[in-house]
Structures are given as C-alpha cells and as structure tokens.
Amino acid sequence: MLAIIIFGTRGVRSTVSEGTFVCPQCISNQQYKHKKVTQFFTLYFIPLIPMGNKGEYVECLGCRNTYITRILQMQPTLDITEKQATSAAVGQPRAQLNTGAVDSTAAIEPEKDKVIKKLLIMMILADGKVENAEIVSFHRIYHESTGQTVRDIYKEMDEVKAENKSPHQYLKEVVHGLNQEGKEAILKASMRIAAADGDIDPSEVRMVENFGKALELKPAEVAAIIEEAKNKQE
C-alpha cells in the first residue's frame, strides 16, 4: 500500500490585544482585534510546528476591514473625534467628522482596498498595453468593490511598474495582513476584471485560481467565487 504523507505550511491567526479605535471606514469608534499570524508547519493539514511571526494587522469588528497596526498609535485623534461626534449630534453636518484629526487615520487605507487596487492594475498591465476600456472598467470595479475612488490611476500604474512584481509574488507578500473577508473581496474583484471584456476564458479562471492559492483560500472557496462570477455573466 502506498502511504502519502501530506505536509505544508499555513498561517494561523491569534489575537494579541483588543480595544477601541477610530476606524477610517466606519468614521467612528469601533471595537478592534489586533491579530498576529504565525506560520505553522502542517502535517495532514494539522498545524504542528510554529515557524515564526508572518505578519499582523488590526481588524475592525464593525466593518471587518483590516489595517496596518500603526493605526493604533494614532489614538490621540480619539478625543477630538469624540468632541466632533458630539457637536455633530447637536445639529452640525456629519461632514464635520471628516475634517481635522480624523484625516490622519483616514489616510490609512483598508488593506484589502490597497491590494485590490494593485492587483487590478497588474491585471490591466499584464498584456503590455493599456486600453481606455480597461481604465473605465478599473474605475467601475474598484469603486463597486471598495466604495473608494482612485484619483490618479496613471501614477498608481507607474508605481506598480516600478515595483515589477508578479501578482502571485505580490499576493504572497500581503496575505498575512488580510482576513477571510478581505481575501474573498480581492478574489471577487479580480474575477470581475477578468469578466469585464465580456467573457471569462479558461486562462483567466486558472489565473484567479492561482490568486486564490497565493491568498491561502481553500479550493472550494475559490471555486464558489469563480462559479458565482460565471453565473452573473450569463
């Protein structure tokens, strides 16, 4: 009988601390969890031996976005925000919340939005030419996926070109700053841009499957997202 030993590695998440912070997406005080990702050597998918810290992030329990941990050092903004929130409550326009101190945390993008932006640009640049229709699709899909807009896509494209990374390589670098929701949102956005030209061909499906692997999603989760996008197409 043939015995197959299955081993590999996997990131395991644990909570380092929790508390409240000002979430730039929710624009309010929210509960957070500061998570650490430890890489484990796995045998038959069971994590056995820790192989070191692979990354960490702060997750908002309100909107489920993840952020770089530096956002927690911006807590002094909390006081001012509370005052603004109070003045907003007594009749001032809500737009007040967007001014002043909140700006410093608002400058921190959710990790998934950052990754979606770069990945979609990499996909546009992949064939060496950039068509107008692709730029239009980018803006539409980026906005649908994140609720955000990109002001200067040409500057972003220059940055991506200068970094010169393959999508797979890039995703492996950022995977440990993301939670499950973020990973799924990224894969859905990449599937949308693949479908933007009117059809989804097998090479595009393989590409998205590879993104799923780099993001450490389970094959069944990846298949469900691809299937959902195909159904929308018909």
Binding residues for Zn ion, rule: CB under 5 A, are 23, 25-26, 30, 60, 62-63
Least Å distance between CB 60 and Zn ion? 3
CA neighbor of 127 nearest in space, from 174, 188, 221, 193: 193
30/210 with CB nearer Zn ion = 30
Q: Which is nearer to Zn ion, 23 or 225 (CB)?
A: 23
**CA pair distance 192, 50, nearest whole angstrom:** 36
CB of residue 32 to Zn ion, shortest distance in Å: 8
End-to-end CA distance of the chain: 46
Distances (CA, A) of 44 to 4, 7, 40, 89, 212: 10, 6, 12, 55, 20
Q: Which is nearer to Zn ion, 71 or 187 (CB)?
A: 71
Shortest gap between Cβ of 230 and Zn ion (angstroms)?
31
DSSP 3-state of 168: helix
Paired strand residues for 33? 18, 59
Indicate the residue among 47 and 62 with the shorter CB distance to Zn ion. Answer: 62
Tell me how far, at minimum, the Cβ of 108 lies from Zn ion, in Å: 12
